[in-house]
Structure 1
Amino acid sequence: MTTSWADFASAAPAHAALVRKRFGAHRHHVLATLRADGSPRVTGLEADISGGELWLGMMPGSRKALDLRRDPRFALHANPGAGTEMEDGDVRVAGRAVEVTDPGTLARYADAAPEGERPEVFHLFRADLTEVVRTYLVLPDMCLDVWRPGAPLRTLRRGNDDAPAREDP
């Protein structure tokens, strides 16, 4: 079973709106992939949420694309921006990248690029979501909204003491 951005947005609309807003605040984000030896690779990426999907477009032959071809697991962290206050929280998405090779889909993706930025040759992956997390503060607690396919949105709270995180009822 695969889980698209549209599936996530349908299951947790308010959470999806906040996550999308954070990704929309900046153009560049941070993608984590796995190298052949299992160590992490962290690189910049422009992610696109459109047509009910989270798309990951990459230059041809890029290391991150080759990583995803070999092992599709990834994490995508939204750019936190320059300020220290993140009123909409800190967000990340994890999942599996599914390479898109259909010529029609590739052409539509390229045609939707801004003027002067249309890629000629590129790798395109569609995200199969496995987890979406938003971290934010409700003083004195740090809160995590965690969504996984097939499960309801959970909110975990952790105080500044050594107690384990507790789940909101």
Structure 2
Amino acid sequence: MPSWGEIEKIAPELARTARELLEAHVHKTIATVRADGAPRISGIEAKFIDGDLWIGSMPGSRKGADLARDPRFALHSGSDDPPDWRGDAKLAGLAEETLDQERKLAIFKAMGAEEVDDASALYRVDVRELAVTRLTEAKDELSIEWWTEAGGLRRVTRK
């Protein structure tokens, strides 16, 4: 499963646009899978560091417990209200926990953490699908561009 850096090579324009949308807001929304199989949505911060996309969770968080049990997730960028809306980025994949304490500390520090609890969890994102939804330049159609491992890069527009 591709890392963010690999996605940048496979679909550079889509990855660039998605990254801009993801970096436009500190807070994003993550969906994880609860123990009973139901979805859970939570706020989260995500950062691009050293060619990878990283997410973390505080000790005892429900989303952290969800990811430890089932690493599948979906992430949605923050979104602006019209007329300032530039689009939304969405991705889904697997969260791979980083257990190396030295690496974990370095990434958390790069994410802006002043102190790091050893029980905090840090995950590198493996991407299964990536999508950007936005208006066309003429602003008369909705453009949806997405990439999946199985289907490659695709695009549709809707009026």
TM > 0.5 between the two?
yes
User: For the Cα contact (< 8 Å) 2:49–2:107, is it kept in 1?
Assistant: no
Residue 119 (structure 1) aligned to one of 105, 116, 121: 116
Task: Decide whether the 8 Å contact of 2:130 with 2:147 is kept in 1.
Answer: yes
What is the count of residue pairs matched by the alignment? 156
Asked if structure 1 preserves the Cα contact closer than 8 Å seen for 2:147 and 2:154, the reply is: yes
What CA RMSD, in Å, does the superposition of the two structures yield over aligned residues? 1.7
How far does residue 144 in structure 1 lie from its aligned partner after superposition? Answer: 0.8
Shift of 1:12: 1.1
Taking a change above 3 Å as real, the CA distance of residues 120 and 54 of structure 1, as seen in their structure-2 partners, is same
State the 1:76 CA deviation: 0.3
Partner of 1:154: 154
Q: Say which SS state the counterpart of residue 127 (structure 1) adopts.
A: strand
The letter of the residue matching 1:102 is: D
CA contact (8 A) 1:110 1:120 kept: no
TM-score (norm 2): 0.89
Question: Alpha-carbon deviation of 1:158?
Answer: 2.5
Structure 2 residue 127 is the aligned partner of structure 1 residue 132 = no
Q: What are the equivalent positions in structure 2 for 1:6-85 lying under 5 Å apart?
A: 6-85=5-84
Q: CA deviation at 1:150?
A: 6.0
Q: Aligned AA for 2:79?
A: P
- Asked if 2 retains the 8 angstrom alpha-carbon contact of 1:130 and 1:149, the reply is yes
Q: TM-score, normalised by structure 1?
A: 0.85
1:69-118: CA deviation from partner (whole Å, max 9, x where unpaired): 1111100000103554322x11111001111101221121133243x633
Greater relative CO (CA pairs within 8 A, separation 6+):
2
Output the CA distance in 1 between the equivalents of 2:54 and 2:11. Answer: 19
Q: Which runs of 5+ in 1 are unaligned?
A: 160-169
Percent identity over the alignment is 38
In the aligned structure 2, how far is the partner of 1:119 from the partner of 1:52?
A: 22
Determine the C-alpha separation between the residues in 2 that align with 1:113 and 1:99.
16
Q: Which runs of 5+ in 2 are unaligned?
A: none
Q: Deviations over 1:109-149 (max 9, x none)?
A: 133243x6332331011111000000112354322101123
Amino acid across the alignment from 2:56:
G
